[in-house]
Amino acid sequence: MIYMFLANGFEETEAIATADVLLRAGLEFKTVGIGCDVITGTHGIKIECDLCDCRVSTDDDISAIILPGGMPGTTNLKNSMVVTSFLDFASQNNILICAICAAPSIIGSMGFLNGKKAVCYPGFEGELKGAILQNESVCKDGNYITAKGAGVAIDFGLEIVKALDSEEKAISIRESMQCR
């Protein structure tokens, strides 16, 4: 199961475009709302999540955790004990952790990107403690995928598909979506 955590103030494009790509790949995916089932994005779009954070457990069979950015969504995710406990669990168990835009600052501040190649939205680099900053739009190093922002959300989703399924599946989806 892939869990995408959404907190009020999340960046809608980063969440929806990524979710769309994962669903096209046929990957098992659930959105998890922090504090409630209906979460409002940074631009006022409301999303009814599949689950509330009170109904998820690290005992679930988790293949990946995804954190969209946006403000104050990133801050709200960082302040969630559920999110940080899932990230700790994922890090300790080599589960894929994916963060885009400002959200890499969460895993960076937790020390998970130390010695890892990573990217984030400009201005959040200081939170990527010990990371080896890259110039790419999307970056994978080990069990971590990071991306710069909303404009590369489809590429971010395709990198997750590549990691959880195959490069061939990612290429097929890219072509069917008419992406460069």
Average pLDDT, the chain: 97
Residue 24 confidence (pLDDT) = 97
Task: Name residues whose C-beta falls within 8 Å of residue 129's C-beta, 6 or more positions apart in sequence.
Answer: 108, 109, 111, 113, 114
Whether the CB-CB separation of 177 and 160 falls below 8 Å is answered with: no
Count of CA atoms in the C-beta half-sphere (13 A) of 69: 23
pLDDT per residue as tens digits for the range 120-142: 999 999 999 999 999 999 999 99
Strands 29-33 vs 2-6: parallel, antiparallel or unpaired: parallel
pLDDT per residue as tens digits for the range 10-21: 999 999 999 999
Taking the C-alpha atoms of residue 147 and residue 18, their distance in angstroms, rounded to an integer, is 11
Mean pLDDT of 153-160: 98
What is the rounded end-to-end Cα distance, in angstroms, of the chain?
29
Residue 58 confidence (pLDDT) = 85
Give domain limits for the chain.
Answer: 2-176
Please state which CATH class domain 2-176 belongs to: alpha beta
Whether the CB-CB separation of 40 and 8 falls below 8 Å is answered with: yes
Residue 111, number of CB atoms within 10 A of its CB: 10
Residue 110 confidence (pLDDT) = 97
The stretches of 93-152 forming alpha helices (DSSP H) are: 104-109
Taking the C-alpha atoms of residue 66 and residue 51, their distance in angstroms, rounded to an integer, is 14
pLDDT per residue as tens digits for the range 23-63: 999 999 999 999 999 999 999 999 999 999 999 988 889 99
Residue 60 confidence (pLDDT) = 83
